[in-house]
Structures are given as C-alpha cells and as structure tokens.
Amino acid sequence: MTETGVPPFVSFLSDYGHADEFVGVCKAVIASFAPEATVIDITHDVPAFDVRAASLALVRSVQYLPGGVVLAVVDPGVGTARRAIAVEVDGAYFVGPDNGLLAPAVAMVGGARRAVECTNSEFHLDAPGPTFAGRDVFAPVAANLAAGVPITEFGPEIDPVTLLPGLVGLPRRDRGGALIGEIWWVDHFGNCQLNIDPEELAAAGATLDGPVEVHFANQTRVARWVHTYADAKPSELVIVVDSYGLCSLAFDRDSVAAEWNLKAGSSVTLVPPGASITGEEEGPS
C-alpha cells in the first residue's frame, strides 16, 4: 500500500496489440518509476482507434480490478489538443486521454472525486515525437501515482464535469413494446452482447424458455430465452444472460456474429410476445 492509500497495481488497457513493442515499452517505463507495482494486462487487442469499444471493455472489467491505477490508452487524437488526464475515484485512479474512454468506467465506480490535466513535464519522458503519449506521458504518470505521488503534482485541477463523456448507446422502447438496442460487444466466441438487460426484456413481456422475435441486418429470426448456452438446440438462436448481466445473442458452440456478419454497433430489436414495432419511440427505456 502506498502513502496515498492506493495499492501498487497498474491495470493496463490499450489498442497496441502484441505485434509491436509498444506494450512492452510502456510496461518497462512503469517498472522504471514503480518497480514494486504489479501490472495487470486487461487487454491490448481493442480494435485500433476504437474508443467506444475500449470504454465498454473498461466498464466490463473495472468492478473486478484490484484498485490502484487504471491506465487506458486508445488515443486516435494523440498529439492534438485533447487533454491527458488523471482522475481520482474512491480508492483508485484512472489515467488516459480525455476522449470519452475513461468516463463510463469512472461513473461505474461512483464518479470522480477530482481530476487533473497532466501538463507537468517533470513527470513525462523526453519525447522524440508527439505520437507515443502512452510511453511518454500516460505510463510515467500512472507509475508515479502507483508509487505514491499525489495526483495534484501532475498538473492543474480541472472540473470533472468538463471531462468528455463516453459514447455508450442506451436502449429505447418502441411504442408497440419492442426494445430497440445495439450490439455492444462481440466476444472471442462470436456471442453478441446487447445493451439490454434481462429486467428490461422481462418487463417487455419475455419469459425464460419463451420466444423473442429478433430483428437485425434486414432479417427476422425467432430466438428462445434460455438459462445457458448448452440449453440451445443445434443451430438454435438463443438469448442468454451473460457473465456481465446483459442479454446476449448466442449459439451453442458456434458464432452468431459470423453467421450473420454482426459487429459491435449493429442495431438489434427484440420483440417479445404481445409486442410490436410501430416505428414510434417512447424514448429511453
């Protein structure tokens, strides 16, 4: 535990991949400033430049992280006027670009207590160019936070209200009772997580083991709401509540995403028994 009361963990997420040296270099920088810190790799396979996908990965992960410092770098605006920020929450810090990446996870853990813009070059590496802020700005700041440096040392305080919000879509309800949502995430197995929770689906009239009409990609299919993947019959489209508590479209041991070329951001409408699609929305469900 550091003097600031935050454990010396750095949980690291990026879109750097593993083909290049970027992740290893950032971890080496962290080790040089905070040799006692443990680095946890959340993922480095976020699609390149996809801030939205990264923010959702962080939201899915944050409740399981051990506190300390969360370093998140998906930064298509690197080298521009976008701010580099550190955000203090209860028992932890977030470090990354102010581009909407951090905001949903910060909200998930109770909101920001304070935030700073990381302009103090004393805690930056000398940069030969402006295009690797992960190495030159964010990793050193995260490491020094993990080592116990107070957040106020990194730059001037900024109003957390001014942080750029995340672009996370919310489901809507059609006046006929259908739920209009989207795919938030396609996992490694091809399951498609929706931005619809099971309580919303039940409130719209769906029942476990009952049918739900699914509209996507100009197609209509009937899915069955089941308890787990193995409850699906061969090639049967099902809806399951996934490990994060959200509804997912799935097959048993096959890829729904590959079958119909579904991707994160694809629109999906669920129509439980008794509901219909009128084309008129009620607003947020």
Asked if the model's pLDDT at residue 284 lies above 90, the reply is no
| Verdict on whether the full-model pTM lies above 0.75 | yes
35: left (phi over 0), alpha (psi -120 to 50) or beta: alpha
Cβ atoms of residues 56 and 79 within 8 Å:
no
- Quick count: other Cβ atoms within 10 Å of Cβ 134? 26
- Average the pLDDT over 216-240 and give the result: 94
CA triplet 124, 125, 127: central angle to 5 degrees? 115
Span 54-91, pLDDT tens digits? 999 999 999 999 989 999 999 999 999 999 999 999 99
Between 121-135, 156-170, 204-218, the lowest mean confidence (pLDDT) is in 156-170
Beta strands in 91-156 (DSSP E): 92-97, 114-117
Span 90-118, pLDDT tens digits? 999 999 999 999 999 999 899 999 999 99
Cβ atoms of residues 54 and 46 within 8 Å:
yes
Asked if the model's pLDDT at residue 285 lies above 50, the reply is no
Catalogue all structural domains in the chain, each as residue range(s) with its CATH number: 9-162 (3.40.50.10790), 172-284 (2.40.30.90)
Asked if the model's pLDDT at residue 1 lies above 80, the reply is no
At 277, the pLDDT band (50, 70, 90 cuts) reads: very high
Span 247-276, pLDDT tens digits? 999 999 999 999 999 999 999 999 999 999
